[in-house]
Amino acid sequence: MAISQDTIRRHSHVSAPLGPRTITEARLRRAPTAFLSHSHKDAELARGLQNYLQSQGWEVYVDWEDTAMPETPNRTTAEKIQKKIRDLDLFLFVATQNSAASRWCPWEIGYADGVKPIDRILIVLTSDSRGTTYGNEYLQLYNHVDQVAGVGVYSYDRAGGRKILRGRAIP
């Protein structure tokens, strides 16, 4: 089930609790870490998803917050992104019209597919205000994320099996 982009945007204006500051600190806290692949045109969605996941105890990496990134994308940018994808626990792909048209997002998921186990790649299907759901056909190869009734973050496999990632289980 796709998550409404409006729902995600609402979280962009909510202050997330202060979470781990480094990957090492996140791992010491046993907090999940994730690379968030998104179009920069969807910065508000990226911020909203990051805030929501941080409120659930995650550490979420967003490339434009990384002061070590070059100002103009180049080979160094690609190398740093590759390292983050390898080093973080999960790869999250925010499926929107903009990420589908991006030059970077399909490259990032292709790279993640080559270096991460398939259950560590998760698609965040989104729907816009018209109800249009985004996600190219090839994204159906991967598990997807859903937020159920505000109680947690779940991963769904292609067969519909649900696994809680963070939060409390539904009774």
Residues 6 and 168: their CA atoms lie apart, in Å, by 24
Q: Which of 1-10, 102-111, 116-125 has the lowest mean pLDDT?
A: 1-10
Q: How confident is the model at residue 99 (pLDDT cuts 50, 70, 90)?
A: very high
Contact 116, 122 (CB under 8 A): no
The torsion angles phi and psi of 159, rounded to 5 degrees, stand at -90, 0
* Token couple for 91: 């790869």
Residues 45 and 49: their CA atoms lie apart, in Å, by 6
Residues 31 and 165: their CA atoms lie apart, in Å, by 11
pTM of the predicted protein model: 0.82
Residues 155 and 171: their CA atoms lie apart, in Å, by 17
Second CATH level (architecture) for the domain 3-167? 3-Layer(aba) Sandwich (3.40)
* Token couple for 8: 């995600």
DSSP 102: -
Give the other-Cβ count within 10 Å of 63's Cβ. Answer: 19
% of the chain with per-residue pLDDT over 70:
76
**Is the pLDDT score of 148 beyond 50?**
no
Give the other-Cβ count within 10 Å of 4's Cβ. Answer: 13
Pairing mode, strands 152-156 and 162-167: antiparallel
